[in-house]
Structure 1
Amino acid sequence: MTVPTTRPRDDRGAATTQLVLVVPLVLLLTLLVVQFALAWHARHIAQYAAQRALAAARVEDGTAGDGRAQAWQSIDSLGPHILTRPAVTVDRNRTGTSVRVEGTVITVVPGVNLHVAGTASGPTERLTTTPGGNRL
């Protein structure tokens, strides 16, 4: 009589299966970390551009156009590919100036579209006189 030999099950192929399941998850998590780091950086670019635009627009002889030009220059020098589709809004009146820079973060993970904005506001600089006629 022949005794059938049963081979114990081996683990061949288990590492490949684990790799197929784990590596895509690790890559996705890594790409999400990169995506949110780019969003953080783009937010800082927008805030910096808004502050620079405010500094240019709020001076006594400044204009809203000066502020917009300064914002675009800042965006172009710091991150024209990180902050995509930027929009700059400068509102300057006699008493105050405000700037808003917004845009979309470059997409690393498909389907994740993040929007960022930076704002800055302050009083418009102007010469005033005291009741005695002295300039302040």
Structure 2
Amino acid sequence: MTTTAPRRRRDRGAASVELVLATPLLGLLLMAAVQFALWQHASHMAQAAANEGVQIARAYGSSAAAGRSDTEALLADLSGGVLSGTSVSASRSATTATITITGRAEAVIPGLSFPIKVTVTAPVERIPANPASPA
């Protein structure tokens, strides 16, 4: 009587192949999560800088240039390299002040850098006209 070996030989090495395929995919997934987190962080920094800049630009007696310089200084302090290639534009009309920031989030995955564009508009502060004095 002859005994036959179990058919387990076909599965030999399957765990190694699965590990070799799954490890890079897991690493790429983790890097994508970090990339998304950096993009969100850079977007929030740009939003905070634009909010601060528009508050300066909309103040009574201020100018768009003052809002722009404040925004650029705040971006330099906050970004720490997470937000790169920034461009700040500011405008002020008789009724509104606007700050726009464009840039790119730092790349974790080589070649994958997400753009950021934030625009904040606020009304300009004015002194109300003198109401008619009661007689």
The structure that is helix-richer by fraction is: 2
Is 1:86 matched up with 2:86? yes
Structure 1 unaligned segments of length 5 or more: list them: none
Aligned partners of 1:42 and 1:105: how far apart in 2? 6
- Matched AA of 2:58: R
Give distance in 1, aligned partners of 2:122 and 2:22. Answer: 51
Query: How far, CA to CA, are the matches of 2:48 and 2:113 in structure 1?
Result: 21
Structure 1 runs of 4+ off > 4 angstroms? 5-8
Contact 1:57-1:66 at 8 Å conserved across structures: yes
Per the alignment, residue 59 of structure 2 pairs with: 59
> Which position in structure 2 is the counterpart of 1:107?
107
Output the CA distance in 2 between the equivalents of 1:111 and 1:82: 15
Structure 2 match to 1:42: 42
User: Is the contact made by 1:99 and 1:119 (CA closer than 8 Å) also made in structure 2?
Assistant: yes
2:31 corresponds to which residue? 31
The normalised TM-score by structure 1 is 0.84
How far apart are 1:34 and its partner, in Å?
0.5
CA distance in 2, matches of 1:127, 1:10: 85
- Aligned counterpart, 2:70: 70
Which one is further off, 76-85 or 24-33?
A: 76-85
Deviation at residue 12 of structure 1 after TM alignment: 4.4
Whole-Å separation in 2 of the counterparts to 1:64 and 1:76: 18
Tell me, in whole angstroms, the C-alpha distance in 1 between the residues paired with 2:123 and 2:50: 15
Change (3 A) 1:63 1:13: same
Q: CA deviation at 1:80?
A: 3.7
What secondary structure, in the 3-state scheme, does the structure 2 residue paired with 1:70 have?
helix
